[in-house]
Structure 1
Amino acid sequence: MMFRIFTTATAALLMTTAMAVAQPIVFIPEGSADTVRMIDAATGETIKRITGLEAVHGPSGAVGVPYLVAGSYAETDRAEIAELTQPEGVSEDEHVAHHAKPENIQIGPADAGISILSVLDAATGEIIRRIEVPGAVHHTAVSPDGRFAVVAHPSGDGISVIDLTTFTLTAFVPTGSMPNYAAFGSDPGVVYVSNAGNGTVSEVDLDRGIVRRNMVAGIAPEHFVIDPDKAMLYAADADAGDVIELSLKDGTVTRSFAIGGELHGLDLSDDRATLFVAGRGEDKIAAVALATGAVTFSPLSPEPYHLTNIPGTGTFYVLSRAEPMVWIVDEATLAAVGDFQVEGEGHQMVALP
């Protein structure tokens, strides 16, 4: 879909500038539509829609990593797994062997169902592999060096660890009640996981498959973003209406920013000086100047939901939870300078150069 015609000189300047440089591709999962939409950030046009991704939720990738991973929030019967589309380039024998039930091997809770994690080519969107994981997938993360993918299972109270060099599930690590979100800091072998059910953030050593420490992080931390240079984590304490600043050096909460209402997505500006927050409960977005702690608000309706910075554009995308649409927001003014339609229910977006 094309953007609606912009009505301000600022919007026109943003688009002209964006066209002059290479722009990211934005991947938007469309939930019940079973698709991921690839958007050209320069034009707002849909490049393609990746199909065959049931109840797709929380895709992720990393700069320079050739893969994108996309989880499913739907569990699948093992009998149905054999009917999945065989990825291109995989032989029949490899496909059958990959989906065969392992003998005497149990990774994850004994009573866990099965869902499918899809590994995609980040350049083309083609499905490369499908991997069975123990239970419905909420959010995912890919390590900066491309070694690992991490999958959060809210109903399983832990994460799955995927080796992206072999496309295999290698470990299940219990983290805490209702793990929600995962992200990496400066160490590609360590991932952080928010546990919304017990108010903690877990630091997980992926090589050892263990939780190294749990940090108290408000009441119910959900989405978060990390500034790896400053070793700071910013988490939406969703129902409390606050964003907490958590030091990854000593595990203490150093500041709290009152946003108000139910919160959802958040992200940092390119220079990591400003934190943007989606205030779903009060139909607003917020910008936190991290140097001073000052918070600026702007109305956005209805129900701003997931939020993702689009590098190099001076804009961020915000999904609506109430309508199948995405706003393009100018970071400097917090004004919506365009929008476009999606299908199904949009979830966590990822922008890759």
Structure 2
Amino acid sequence: MHKTLATAIAALMMTTTMAVAQSIVFVPEGSANTVLMVNAETGEAMKRITGLEAVHGLSGAPGVPYLVAGSYAETDREAIVELTQPEDVSDDEHAAHHAKPADKPIGPADAGISILSILDAASGEILRRIEVPGAVHHTAVSPDGRFAVATHPSGDGISVIDLTTFKLIAFVPTGSIPNYAAFGPDPSLVYVSNAGNGTISEVDLERGIVRRNMVTGSGPEHIVVDADKAVLYAADADAGKVLELSLNDGSVTRSFDIGGELHGLDLSDDRTTLFVAGRGEDKIATVALSTGAIAFAPLSPEPYHLINVPGTGTLYVSSRVEPKVWIVDEATLSAVGEFPVEGEAHQMTVISRDIDG
């Protein structure tokens, strides 16, 4: 009886496909017009996605089947008509659609046009291309997968995309030179750093309005949010400081002096440590958030974008002046590996997907 049962179980295991989680880091390669897919655990290149002009902003969210890639280049209307034409629509129909007076562009009247691309998070396939008003710097995807936003530094606002319809539904003016966007506890609210006027805007995506502006140093750029604690960290880039804000009342609760020009930042898996890329002084820093203690390690040249890779104990850190990404051990802050990229590595994102195992 036991032998028969064991044989049946063995046969079942041999014939049953089990899903195994695999984490992938998507690396936008800027001037190379590509996105590199990398095995998060090994740093090995898996695939290169082409056809994404000047891709700088790239984001996703756990469990959301899409990535959103933004182009930092503007193009003309004729090129956009050709680029965004669906396969099942004729040339005449598509041209007529773009020529309709009812299709008045959303956003500033004098804005150029760039492309926001929707990618399949599992395969990297480009699913849709959406016209947005002006060059895109960074993007963000809401935790519930309903919204995506893109910052437009030259337009002083953000585009809002409905990911259920793949349509641009609003342009929200936020402030001078919006740089980065991040979601907090409420998936309908996004926080946008305005580098030109020293504020963080809280944007209500349901209403398409700025609910409040929080004064945050002189020039906040990259931001990251601890949603559980309702705390936001902002790199006051040129001032060489990271500021901690309470999202409950908008106050700056702490300031961490890192020194030099700052760029990327992220939180550890347990949200107890903040990692900072010190581009200006060729270093990376950690901030122990329980005590405020800061530690440094050299990393050269010019550490740029930075992302924590969940479950691996490593950071991926790109160089602004060399075509590579370092793999950095979070405990020692030492580079344990690196891999080459084409162009420049900008806003990286990590997605976990199920594979057959």
State if a TM-score over 0.5 links the two structures.
yes
Provide the residue aligned with 1:313 in structure 2: 312
TM superposition shift of 1:106 = 3.4
Given the superposition, is the C-alpha separation of residues 77 and 316 from structure 1 closer, same or farther in structure 2, using an over 3 Å criterion?
same
Alpha-carbon separation, structure 1, partners of 2:139 and 2:335 = 28
Correspondence for 1:91 among 71, 88, 91: 88
Provide the residue aligned with 1:158 in structure 2: 157
TM superposition shift of 1:45 = 1.4
Alpha-carbon separation, structure 2, partners of 1:96 and 1:266 = 42
My pick for the range that moved more, 276-285 or 91-100, is 91-100
TM superposition shift of 1:42 = 2.1
Alpha-carbon separation, structure 2, partners of 1:299 and 1:102 = 56
Alpha-carbon separation, structure 2, partners of 1:340 and 1:254 = 38
Alignment RMSD, CA only?
Answer: 1.5
CA contact (8 A) 1:278 1:285 kept: yes
TM superposition shift of 1:322 = 1.2
The letter for the 1-side match of 2:221 is E
Structure 2 unpaired stretches of 5+: 1-19, 353-357
Alpha-carbon separation, structure 2, partners of 1:102 and 1:300 = 53
Alpha-carbon separation, structure 1, partners of 2:100 and 2:26 = 33
Alpha-carbon separation, structure 1, partners of 2:68 and 2:297 = 33
Given the superposition, is the C-alpha separation of residues 98 and 154 from structure 1 closer, same or farther in structure 2, using an over 3 Å criterion?
farther
Provide the residue aligned with 1:47 in structure 2: 46
The letter for the 2-side match of 1:27 is F
Q: What SS does the aligned partner of 1:96 have?
A: helix
CA contact (8 A) 2:84 2:129 kept: no
The letter for the 2-side match of 1:284 is K
TM superposition shift of 1:83 = 2.8
Provide the residue aligned with 1:180 in structure 2: 179
Q: How does 1:1-353 map to 2 (within 5 A)?
A: 22-84=21-83, 90-93=87-90, 96=94, 100-104=98-102, 105-353=104-352
CA contact (8 A) 1:282 1:303 kept: yes
Alpha-carbon separation, structure 2, partners of 1:98 and 1:301 = 52
The letter for the 1-side match of 2:330 is E
Alpha-carbon separation, structure 2, partners of 1:200 and 1:43 = 39
Alpha-carbon separation, structure 2, partners of 1:315 and 1:134 = 36
Alpha-carbon separation, structure 2, partners of 1:101 and 1:189 = 33
TM superposition shift of 1:242 = 0.2
Structure 1 unpaired stretches of 5+: 1-20
Alpha-carbon separation, structure 1, partners of 2:43 and 2:262 = 26
Alpha-carbon separation, structure 1, partners of 2:202 and 2:90 = 38
The letter for the 2-side match of 1:103 is P
TM superposition shift of 1:58 = 1.1
Alpha-carbon separation, structure 1, partners of 2:53 and 2:100 = 23
My pick for the range that moved more, 303-312 or 105-114, is 105-114
The letter for the 2-side match of 1:92 is V
The letter for the 2-side match of 1:224 is I
CA deviations on 1:280-301 (whole Å, 9 max, x unpaired) are 0000000000000000000000
The letter for the 1-side match of 2:117 is S
Alpha-carbon separation, structure 2, partners of 1:61 and 1:101 = 32
CA contact (8 A) 1:82 1:99 kept: no
The letter for the 1-side match of 2:314 is T
Given the superposition, is the C-alpha separation of residues 264 and 101 from structure 1 closer, same or farther in structure 2, using an over 3 Å criterion?
farther
CA contact (8 A) 2:275 2:284 kept: yes
Identity of aligned residues (%): 78
The letter for the 2-side match of 1:196 is A
Provide the residue aligned with 2:12 in structure 1: none
Given the superposition, is the C-alpha separation of residues 43 and 237 from structure 1 closer, same or farther in structure 2, using an over 3 Å criterion?
same
TM superposition shift of 1:101 = 4.1
TM superposition shift of 1:85 = 6.8
The letter for the 2-side match of 1:42 is E
TM superposition shift of 1:96 = 2.2
- Higher gyration radius (CA): 2
TM superposition shift of 1:262 = 0.2
Alpha-carbon separation, structure 2, partners of 1:248 and 1:161 = 21
- How many residue pairs match? The answer is 331
The letter for the 2-side match of 1:234 is Y
